[in-house]
A and B are shown apart, each in its own frame.
Chain A
Amino acid sequence: MLEIKKLVKRYGKGSPVLQDLDLVVQGEQVMSIIGSSGAGKSTLLRCVNRLVEPTSGSITLNGTDFTTLSSRELRSARRRVGMVFQGYNLVDRLTVMENVQSGRLGYISTWAALTRRFPKEDIQRAYELMERVGIAQYASKRADELSGGERQRVGVVRALMQRPEILLADEPTASLDPKTSEQIMALLRDLASELNLPVIINIHNVNEAKEYSDRIVGMRYGRIIFDDVPSALDTAQMDEIYSGTPSEDREAQGAMA
């Protein structure tokens, strides 16, 4: 279970990007976060594994408060959180297998990593997962030889190699064509139930969000203003989530203060 309490993130001295945000995610549900650019979706996701350092508040994953960890403890805690990125973030010049195994780097020594001596069970697990998502035949190919959809599958497998307790996906389909995008969304949904894994997806495509998730959270200017099942999301609420721009919101807040 992921429990976020009173999370605040402020860059520099500006007004906060996340404002007293509370959120609980449990079970194997797929949760999509929607909201216009600048609403704080990406910041929220990155605060969970502290790629972005939260200003205040707490983030607890299955009993561990991530916000109080030392940098050494954070490193081992990060192994429990898988992440999938918009631009895939694969190492282009390495093979697919090396990319996939980089999800296990937190478990093996630097020397083993450098000499590519991966544990037998990791290699087996990699083939198993690659076969599940349909990329096993590319194991020895360089990552930059693959198509967008295939590359994102490598990204998903890399995250799953961590045997994560939760999977975060930051706009995983934004760089893909509509059809491939749906395939990746379906894959994330199926994997969530197969692996008993809660998945949080930042997404711009509301139709896909509605179709593939169990729960939708709508964010606007650092706050959650909608949190319900997909069928409850109607046009009026959509308008509220997407109306205005962050800068207008900022001005409105400034006028109030």
Chain B
Amino acid sequence: MTAHPDRWRKPHMIESPLLRYALYFGILAYLVLTIATLPIDWLRAAEGLERAGRIFNGAFPPSFDRSELLISGFLESLKIAIIASTGGMLLSIPLAFMAASNISPKPIYYLGRGTIIIARSFHPVIVAIIFVKAVGFGPLAGALTLIVYSIGFVAKLLAERIEEIDFGQVEAVRAAGAPFLSTVFYTIFPQIMPRMIGLGIYQLDSNLRASAVVGIVGAGGIGSTLANAFGRYDYDFALAITMVIVGAILISEAVSGVIRKRLL
């Protein structure tokens, strides 16, 4: 009987120890170097702390005196979010089909992927700045921004879901001589429907949050109200707005959580 070893070690991901330790050392050295060379002015930060203290002092207690402005700003944000989610979903569905490699021929696939990549490559704030320049201050710029933002997210995830479908179902209906669109409606949509509904709900939630951010650069909604309040040193009003935003997001998270659980 031969003696078998009683010890076994999982092989390292990077086999060569020299390369492994060189990599560890490199990462560490870069980190130290970065912190050492970044121009951080500690003196100024300390002064700023004092200013922050003043802002917080001014913010308490929060003021709901101008609640009319607050409510109208919030409702505008809600409208922006709903329009952007609907528009984003409607545009994302065809785009997702274009960008699914198992459905689309190569040129259309690249066109779809390219569009999604462009929609994804800029942060909503940058897109919002461009749209504010293009169509002026206000909710239209916000809605357009969030439509682009929704496409980048929904179309990408939906395209990935389409690529994961059970193609046997498609093959079966195709073998019965069904035309292209009928095949899509009968075999692909039923398979991606749960994901589509989930993404739609998530996107509504996420657009509401993002609409507050893009508002700060002038794209309408409660973000604009918040930016104005800061501009006029109304820190107590600003705190009230922030509290409403947090509350609204908590509620929308809870609601979408419940809906997703019930539905899927």
Contact = CB atoms under 8 A, between A and B. Distances in A.
A91 B177 contact: no
A140 interface: no
B169 A91 contact: yes
Interface in A82-109: 82-83, 85, 87, 89-94, 98, 102-106, 108
A140 to B, nearest CB: 15
B173 A90 contact: no
Interface stretch (B119-127, B131-139, B155-163, B178-186): B178-186
- Main SS of chain B's interface residues? helix
Interface string A108-136: 10100110000000000000000000000
Given A93-B190, A94-B186, A113-B185, A158 B172 contact: yes
Residue in A82, A85, A93, A108 with the greatest tally of chain B CB atoms within 10 Å: A93
Contacts of B191: 91-93
12 contacts: A51-B171, A75-B179, A78-B175, A78-B177, A85-B168, A102-B172, A105-B177, A108-B182, A110-B182, A110-B185, A113-B186, A162-B177
A83 B185 CA distance: 20
A131 B25 CA distance: 73
B176 to A, nearest CB: 5
Interface in A112-170: 113-114, 155, 158-159, 161-162
B27 interface: no
A122 to B, nearest CB: 13
Contact of B169 (A51, A89, A114, A161): A89
B130 interface: no
B126 to A, nearest CB: 39
B182 A162 contact: no
Interface centre among B168, B175, B183, B190 (most CB of A within 10 A): B175
Most interface-central of B168, B174, B178 (chain A CB within 10 A) = B178
Given A93-B190, A105-B186, A113-B186, A87 B175 contact: no
B187 interface: yes
A43 interface: no
A110 B171 contact: no
Contact of A91 (B181, B182, B190): B190
Given A91-B187, A98-B186, A113-B186, A158 B171 contact: no
Contacts of A102: 172-173, 176, 178, 186-187
B177 A110 contact: no
Nearest to B184: A110
Given A87-B168, A89-B168, A89-B169, A113 B182 contact: yes
Given A91-B187, A93-B190, A113-B185, A79 B169 contact: no
